[in-house]
Amino acid sequence: MMRKQIAAANWKMNLTLAQGEALLNDLFAIPTELGENQEAVLGIPFPYLTTVKDKLSGKQNIYIAAQNCYSKRSGAYTGEVSVEMLQSIGVDYVILGHSERREYFNESNSMLADKVNLCLEFGLKPIFCCGEALDIREAGTQNSYVETQLIESLFHLTPEQLTNFVIAYEPIWAIGTGKTASSEQAQEMHAHIRSVFAAKYGNAVADSISILYGGSVKAANAKEIFGQPDVDGGLVGGASLIAEEFAAIINSLKK
């Protein structure tokens, strides 16, 4: 089985509803090709999930993602959004552990393990983000740093739960900076991530996991990065807010 190739948009905290709808109208007006093993995923703000879900009806291989969820099941957590709520409105994916959430909202590896568990229990697919800051890259310890993120948040899962899982490798020094990892740096880390899963879960599970690259992906560099053997698409921030850019990124997925 060919693992999925995915172009995922992360709008972050941008756009009004009207602006988001205009962006999607523009995006859908551009011809994009999504093959059988390819998906586009739209990571949009909570208030627009239902509206955008409705807009996607009849479209093939396009899904919605929440950008976060809470780590508890339900109850007295004013202002938080549960996985069950997301399930009840038909959300497909949840972006978990984005570096902005780790940094500004103190999300720890163990809290993310709780979020992963809830997503899997309710049948939502996590897009689990990992990646190192610049000082770690400069010290040359990025491989063990990312490995620890994976071990502490995911290694309690069963092989079945990790089959067809989605990881996003996002070096923090490349997010929103216009500075992309080279395709060699991306491939090296993606191969490392796959080997970490292979060592614990075996090759079949490791080969089924889609590993997306994130960090200043744009139309001009997507094809080269996605062309690497262990890169299965991208998680895209800034460029996902521009219809022409994101359409070209979708069309850069490898078949």
Q: Collect all residues with Cβ–Cβ distance below 8 Å to 148 and sequence separation of at least 6.
A: 109
Q: Which is nearer to ligand PEP, 118 or 212 (CB)?
A: 212
Find the shortest distance in angstroms from Cβ 57 to ligand PEP. 26
Stretch that binds ligand PEP, among 56-64, 146-154, 155-163, 168-176 (CB under 6 A): 168-176
What's the rounded Cα separation, in Å, for the pair 202 and 235? Answer: 26
Check binding of 6 to ligand PEP (CB under 6 A).
no
**Options 39, 98, 107, 190, the catalytic residue:** 98
* Residue corresponding to tokens 């070096």: 171
How is residue 212 written in tokens? 């997306």
> How many C-beta neighbours within 10 Å does residue 184 have?
9
Q: Which residues of 232-244 are buried (b: 16+ CB within 10 A; e: fewer)?
A: bbbbbbbbbbbbe
Check binding of 97 to ligand PEP (CB under 6 A).
no
Find the shortest distance in angstroms from Cβ 246 to ligand PEP. 10
The interface with ligand PEP within residues 221-250 (CB under 6 A) comprises: 235-239
Check binding of 176 to ligand PEP (CB under 6 A).
yes
Contact of 91 with 53, CB cutoff 8 Å: yes
Check binding of 47 to ligand PEP (CB under 6 A).
no
Check binding of 9 to ligand PEP (CB under 6 A).
no
Active-site annotation, residues:
98, 170
